[in-house]
Every structure is written in structure tokens, then in C-alpha cells.
């Protein structure tokens, strides 16, 4: 059963962790930061004061804008505050359950009142149960919602307010991309079943990964175990048996017509793509995963050969390195890039080419392409810069800071924005120009559909919405 905690975390700590800011182990002298670019207009809107007793901060960042919610104490009770407006007060808010829909327009969370628990959706309390056992899950379009509940010693999925069949355990709720279908796993005695659209499938001895829908919602797949063998079940049909299936390696192409996963047989690993096994390797890099290009025509993954690692692109193994990162495709599918390490130096490899003139660093991460695929950026650090972090945009090294966040491109790929930390202050850098200083960034910058940049900040104990326009 999910329970609330009394532990209170200050908002400055929450903001720091939420934004995924990479910080340096040592500090050098602060940079001289330029004044804001006067070509951009900065507007601040006061949303509310934020109590020091705030915890459980949740944020939503999309082309529809930034939203933020957190939990505050009201005496011995608790309340969710959304964009500065408090909702109803309850005995407790179930920890970790506050969640926005993907478009940021809806909000749901679990609540405890007395001995009962229930889910509040858009401010409306749902049916009471003995326990709520999952974070509420919205469909990708935000129109549907599901969660796991308990009555007595039985668990069941609640989808759009309707309770499903009872089981000894339920988990891994997933909607299809169009929101029309839902799948979850359930425990019956000592056997596992996958429930698709309310219908339970065959019983298995084990299920290791979350079921996956194709992008069209037409297909659903998962890996299962019978005895000591593992296999992938696609649309109810079991595939070939293997000694093991890579956990969470199952993936569909964007058009839903290709499916791939990592499998092991006789001590060797390989990728199975539409039923065809690739060459064997000593391991398939789980952290790198199997990645399809956005058009579904290309595929890349990391693999181990002896003590070296390679990235396999369209069936061709690239150069060998000591360590590799996860490959990413450009939005147009024409390019693929990944980070790699050789002789203790990190760098970026593009299209599998081992460039002898590459820029090398002591750390590289957060590789990203622009929407048009013509620009690329990543975070890096160097011993020559006292291991402080900086961004490299279009192979141009930017100023270093104590902390640097992930870069965002505008939809037309022309503009960039990212969060930086210097000492105890935070700024957003827009097209190489530094914005105003704040005590914290509550919601990191996001470009809206009209090109406006929006983010939320903390100034003292107050929260502001910041909009930046050309």
C-alpha cells in the first residue's frame, strides 16, 4: 500500500534533483554572466508563495506550457497545490502519485482519508478502496486514466472508473498511443497472465518486462517464461524459445511494422528483428537499448565483443570502444550519434565514423539533435576547465558553469535554451544570452508552439511563471 511520508524536503533540493542538473565536484571562480539579450522580452507572473514544507514536486513541460504541483502541510493534514492554487485537504497524499497528463491539462493523485484510499482526478474524488497501489496512468491523449486498487486481499485495475477482474496482484498498466487499448500484467496464484483490453491471456511462469504496444495500437507484445525458456508473445502468438530475453529490450518501429528484442542462447546474445537473428555478441548493451529511427527504416544498438563495445547500425558493427552510450537518430533518420570513450577520453561519434580530429573531453552526456536534424548539442566537462560542465552546440564550446541542464531546441531549430547554475543562483541561457538570476528553476524551459519560451522559477519563497518572447 502506498503511504504518505512525514519527511519534508526543501524546494531548493527538489528543484535541483528534478531538473537533472549535472554539477561539478569542484568550483572555480564564477563566470562573468552577460546581461539578458534585449532582443528578447522577459515577463514574470507571480503564481504564489511556496511553503518551506513543500514536498513531492511534480512538473509538466509540453508545447502547452509549464505546470507544477506540490504537496503542503495543513496542520496534520495535506493538500496538493497546483500552479499556486490549493485543492481539497485530506488526511494524506500518497507519496509519488501526483501526476499530470502528457499534455499537462489534467492532474491526478492518490489520497488517504481515514482507513480508505482513493484517486482524485481533476479535483474530483473517485471511489474508495482499501489501497491504491500505483501512480495513476493517463493515456497519451490524456482522455483516459487507469490505476491499481485493492479490496480485501484482491487487486484489480480501475480503468476510466470501472473496476476490472480481481487478481492476486496487478501491475504495469500501459495504454496504446491512441488511448484506445490498455494492457497490464496480473498474478493468479503462482502464475502470471497478460490482460489485453480486459481479456486475460495464457498463464506463464514469469513475465520480465512491461508489455509494449505498437505506435498504431494494432499490435501488442511481451516476453514470457515457461519452464526454463523465454519467448516473445506477439498478438497472442508465442515466438521462438531462448535461454533469456533482454529485460525491457522489446521495441516496435514507429510505423508498427517491425519489432526487435535482445535474446540469449548458448551463452551468446543477439538481436532478433522481425524473427531474424543478428550476428552473435558477448552481450547486448541494456542501457543503450535497441533504437529505431523515427521513420522505422533503420535500427541501432550497442553490443560487446570481448572487452570492447561497438554500436551496430543497420546490421554493421562500428568502431570498437571501451565504453559507449545510447545511440540516437536524428528526427529525419539520416544520422545516428552516440557517445564513446577511448583511452579515458569521451567524445561523440556520428554515423559510425571514427573521426581522428574529434573534440575529446573528460565527460560527455545528454546528446540531442534539433528537430530538423541539422544541429546537435551535448554536455561535456574537461579537466582544463576544473571539471565544470558546459554545452557544446554545433561543435562550438559554450561557457562553463557549476551546473548545466539539458538543452531545448525551438520547433524551428533556430533557438536554444538551457538552465545553468552558478553558486547558489540559477539562470536560463537563451541563444547564448543569460537571463535573470533566480533562487531556483521549478520547471525547466520549454518552447511553446508559437515560439515563446516558458519556464517557472523560485524567488525567495514565491513561484513565478516566466515567459520570454522575441
Q: In angstroms, what CA-CA distances link 298 with 226, 232, 263, 327, 454?
A: 32, 21, 19, 12, 34
pLDDT above 90 (res 107):
yes
Q: What percent of the chain has pLDDT over 90?
A: 76
Mean pLDDT of 396-417: 94
Residue, of 23 and 155, whose pLDDT is higher:
155
Output the DSSP codes for 323-380: EE---EE-TTSS-EEEEEEETTEEEEEETTB--TT---BSEEEEEEE-TTSS-EEEEE
Task: With cut-offs at 50, 70 and 90, classify the pLDDT of residue 54.
Answer: low
- 398-411 as b/e, with b when 16 or more CB fall inside 10 Å? bbbbbbbbbbbbbe
Task: Confirm if 417 and 405 have CB atoms less than 8 A apart.
Answer: no
Residue, of 21 and 314, whose pLDDT is higher:
314
Least confident of 56-70, 111-125, 405-419: 56-70
pLDDT above 90 (res 340):
yes
**pLDDT value, residue 414:** 94
Question: What is the C-alpha to C-alpha distance for residues 299 and 315, in angstroms, rounded to an integer?
Answer: 8
pLDDT digits (tens, 9 = 90+) for 224-251: 999 999 999 999 999 999 999 998 899 9
Mean pLDDT of 433-458: 92
Which distant-in-sequence residues (6+ apart) come within 8 Å of 462 by Cβ? 46, 47, 48, 49, 50
Mean pLDDT of 188-215: 94
Mean pLDDT of 148-161: 96
Residue, of 8 and 230, whose pLDDT is higher:
230
CB atoms within 10 A of CB 252: 22
Mean pLDDT of 326-354: 94
What rounded mean pLDDT belongs to the chain? 88
Least confident of 159-163, 174-178, 282-286: 282-286
pLDDT above 90 (res 221):
yes
Task: With cut-offs at 50, 70 and 90, classify the pLDDT of residue 22.
Answer: low
**pLDDT value, residue 357:** 87
**pLDDT value, residue 461:** 83
pLDDT above 50 (res 27):
no
Question: What is the C-alpha to C-alpha distance for residues 292 and 297, in angstroms, rounded to an integer?
Answer: 7
**pLDDT value, residue 7:** 30
Nearest one of 376, 377, 405 to 389, comparing CA atoms: 405
pLDDT digits (tens, 9 = 90+) for 261-276: 999 999 999 999 999 9
**pLDDT value, residue 52:** 55
**pLDDT value, residue 39:** 65
Question: What is the C-alpha to C-alpha distance for residues 64 and 449, in angstroms, rounded to an integer?
Answer: 7
Cell of 123: 479535483
**pLDDT value, residue 248:** 87
**pLDDT value, residue 140:** 94
Amino acid at each position: 500500500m502506498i503511504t504518505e511520508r512525514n519527511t519534508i524536503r526543501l524546494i531548493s533540493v527538489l528543484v535541483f534533483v528534478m531538473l537533472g542538473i549535472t554539477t561539478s565536484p569542484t568550483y572555480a571562480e564564477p563566470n562573468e554572466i552577460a546581461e539578458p539579450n534585449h532582443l528578447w522580452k522577459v515577463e514574470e507572473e507571480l503564481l504564489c508563495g511556496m511553503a518551506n514544507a513543500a514536498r513531492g514536486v511534480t512538473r509538466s513541460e509540453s508545447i502547452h506550457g509549464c505546470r507544477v504541483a506540490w504537496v503542503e502541510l495543513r496542520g496534520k493534514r495535506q493538500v496538493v497545490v497546483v500552479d499556486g492554487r490549493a485543492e481539497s485537504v485530506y488526511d494524506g497524499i500518497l507519496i509519488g502519485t501526483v501526476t499530470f497528463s502528457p499534455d499537462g491539462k489534467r492532474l491526478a493523485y492518490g489520497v488517504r482519508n481515514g482507513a480508505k484510499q482513493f484517486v482524485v482526478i481533476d479535483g474530483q474524488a473517485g471511489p474508495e478502496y482499501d489501497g491504491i497501489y500505483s501512480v495513476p496512468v493517463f493515456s497519451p491523449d490524456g482522455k483516459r486514466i487507469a490505476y491499481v486498487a485493492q479490496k480485501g486481499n484482491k487487486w484489480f485495475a480501475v480503468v476510466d472508473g470501472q473496476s476490472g477482474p480481481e487478481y492476486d496482484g496487478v501491475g504495469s498498466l500501459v495504454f496504446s498511443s491512441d488511448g484506445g487499448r490498455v494492457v497490464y500484467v496480473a498474478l493468479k496464484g503462482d502464475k502470471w497472465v497478460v490482460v489485453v483490453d480486459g481479456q486475460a491471456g495464457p498463464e506463464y511462469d514469469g513475465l520480465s518486462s512491461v508489455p509494449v504496444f505498437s505506435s498504431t495500437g494494432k499490435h501488442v507484445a511481451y516476453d514470457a517464461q515457461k519452464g526454463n525458456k523465454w519467448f516473445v508473445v506477439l498478438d497472442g502468438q508465442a515466438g521462438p524459445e531462448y535461454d533469456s530475453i533482454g529485460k525491457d529490450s522489446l521495441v516496435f518501429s514507429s510505423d508498427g511494422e517491425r519489432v526487435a528484442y535482445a535474446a540469449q542462447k548458448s551463452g551468446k546474445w543477439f538481436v532478433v528483428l522481425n524473427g531474424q537473428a543478428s550476428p552473435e555478441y558477448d552481450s547486448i548493451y541494456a542501457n543503450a537499448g535497441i533504437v529505431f529511427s523515427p521513420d522505422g527504416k533503420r535500427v541501432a544498438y550497442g553490443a560487446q565483443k570481448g572487452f570492447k563495445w561497438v554500436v551496430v547500425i543497420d546490421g554493421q558493427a562500428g568502431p570498437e570502444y571501451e565504453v559507449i552510450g545510447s545511440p540516437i537518430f536524428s528526427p529525419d533518420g539520416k544520422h545516428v550519434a552516440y557517445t564513446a570513450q577511448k583511452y579515458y577520453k569521451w567524445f561523440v561519434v556520428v554515423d559510425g565514423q571514427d573521426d581522428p580530429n574529434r573534440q575529446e573531453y573528460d565527460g560527455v552526456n545528454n546528446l540531442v539533435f534539433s528537430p530538423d536534424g541539422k544541429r546537435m548539442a551535448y554536455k561535456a566537462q574537461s579537466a582544463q576547465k576544473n571539471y565544470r560542465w558546459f554545452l557544446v552546440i554545433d561543435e562550438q564550446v559554450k561557457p562553463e558553469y557549476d551546473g548545466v541542464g539539458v538543452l531545448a531546441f525551438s520547433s524551428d531549430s533556430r533557438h536554444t535554451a538551457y538552465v545553468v547554475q552558478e553558486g547558489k543562483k540559477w539562470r536560463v541561457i537563451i541563444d547564448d544570452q543569460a537571463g535573470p538570476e533566480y533562487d531556483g528553476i521549478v520547471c525547466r524551459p520549454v518552447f511553446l508552439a508559437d515560439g515563446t519560451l516558458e519556464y517557472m522559477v523560485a524567488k525567495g519563497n514565491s513561484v513565478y511563471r516566466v515567459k520570454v518572447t522575441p
